[in-house]
C-alpha cells in the first residue's frame, strides 16, 4: 500500500527518532499540528506500520520499516555490515579534495570510534559530498545510508553534527550487535 507524503514523513520521523515517542513530540519534529499528526498515526497504526509499546507512545514496526524500503537485517547481513574490510574498501578520511588525513576506518565499529576523533571539517566535507551514505551502502546498510541522508538535510554543523552522526552510527552498531547476539543459540 502506498503512503501519502505526510504519512511517509511521519513514519520516517518515527524511524529517525529510534525510540517510542509521544504524538506531540512527533508533531513538533515534523512541524505539523498535533490533531493532524495524531490522525495520521492512527491510520498508520491501523495499517500495521506503527505500534503502541506503551500508553501514549508510538513506534515504527518492522512492517513500517519495510514500507520505507528497508530490508530486514538478519545475522548474516549484520555480520557482513560489521566485517573488517581491506584497506582499499575502508573509509578514508580527507580534509578536502586531494588532502587525505591518513586516517581510515576498516569497519562500521571502527568508523564509529574514528568519527569522535576526526576533525569536524572532515565530517562536514564528507557529509556534504554524500561519502558516508555511499560507504554505508557499500557495506550493505541501506538503512544507515538513508538515515545519514535524512540527517544531512537537517543541515547541522560543528560539534552538533559530530555528536548526532556519532549517535546515529553508534545506535546502528548497537542494533546490529544485538541482531548478531539474538541469532546465536545460547
The CATH code for residues 5-67 is 1.10.10.10
* Domain ranges (residues) in the chain: 5-67, 75-183
pLDDT for position 133: 94
CA distance 25 to 16: 12
- Dist. CA 112–CA 157, nearest whole Å: 18
Give which of 129, 120, 133 is closest to 169, Cα–Cα.
133
What is residue 110's predicted lDDT score, i.e. its pLDDT? 96
One DSSP character per residue, 22-78 reads EHHHHHHHHTS-HHHHHHHHHHHHHTTSEEEEETTEEEE-HHHHHHTTPPPP-HHHH
> At 163, is the secondary structure helix, strand, or coil?
helix
Separation in Å, CA 74 to CA 71, 78, 146, 152: 9, 6, 18, 27
Distance CA 116, CA 184 (A): 30
Which grid coordinates belong to 11?
Answer: 513514519
- For residue 3, what pLDDT is reported? 86
Output the pLDDT for position 33.
Answer: 92
Crossing angle of helices 120-129 and 131-139, in 10° steps, is: 70
> What string of pLDDT tens digits covers the 186 residues of the chain?
578 899 988 998 888 887 899 999 999 988 889 999 999 999 999 999 999 999 999 999 989 988 888 878 888 888 999 899 999 999 999 999 999 999 999 999 999 999 999 999 999 999 999 999 999 999 999 889 988 988 888 788 889 899 999 999 999 999 899 988 875 555
pLDDT at res. 183? 52
Give the C-alpha separation, 139 to 42, whole Å.
35
Please give the pLDDT value at position 105. 96
Non-local (6+) Cβ contacts of 77 within 8 A are: 71, 140
* Rounded Cα–Cα distance for residues 70 and 21 (Å): 21
Question: pLDDT at position 7, please?
Answer: 92
Using a 10 angstrom Cβ sphere, with 0-12 exposed, 13-18 middle and 19 or more buried, the burial of residue 14 is buried
Give the pLDDT score at 1.
57
Q: Look up the pTM and report it.
A: 0.76
pLDDT of residue 30: 85
pLDDT of residue 24: 93
Instruction: Give pLDDT, residue 16.
Output: 81
Question: Whole-angstrom Cα distance, residue 151 to residue 16?
Answer: 9
For position 35, what pLDDT does the model report?
92
Q: Which residue has the cell 507524503?
A: 5
Amino acid at each position: 500500500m502506498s503512503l501519502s507524503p505526510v504519512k511517509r514523513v511521519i513514519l520516517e520521523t518515527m524511524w529517525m527518532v529510534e525510540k517510542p515517542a509521544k504524538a506531540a513530540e512527533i508533531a513538533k519534529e515534523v512541524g505539523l499540528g498535533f490533531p493532524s499528526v495524531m490522525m495520521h498515526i492512527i491510520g498508520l497504526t491501523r495499517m500495521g506500520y506503527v505500534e503502541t509499546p506503551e500508553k501514549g507512545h508510538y513506534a515504527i514496526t518492522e512492517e513500517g520499516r519495510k514500507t520505507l524500503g528497508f530490508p530486514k537485517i538478519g545475522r548474516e547481513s549484520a555480520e557482513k555490515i560489521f566485517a573488517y574490510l581491506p584497506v582499499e574498501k575502508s573509509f578514508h578520511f580527507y580534509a578536502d579534495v586531494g588532502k587525505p588525513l591518513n586516517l581510515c576506518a576498516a569497519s562500521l565499529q571502527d568508523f564509529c570510534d574514528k568519527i569522535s576523533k576526526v576533525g569536524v571539517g572532515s565530517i562536514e566535507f564528507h557529509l556534504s559530498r554524500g561519502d558516508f551514505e555511499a560507504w554505508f551502502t557499500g557495506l550493505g546498510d541501506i538503512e544507515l545510508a538513508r538515515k545519514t541522508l535524512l540527517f544531512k538535510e537537517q543541515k547541522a554543523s560543528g560539534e552538533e553534527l559530530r555528536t548526532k552522526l556519532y549517535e546515529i552510527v553508534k545506535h546502528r552498531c548497537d542494533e546490529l550487535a544485538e541482531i548478531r547476539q539474538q541469532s546465536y543459540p545460547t
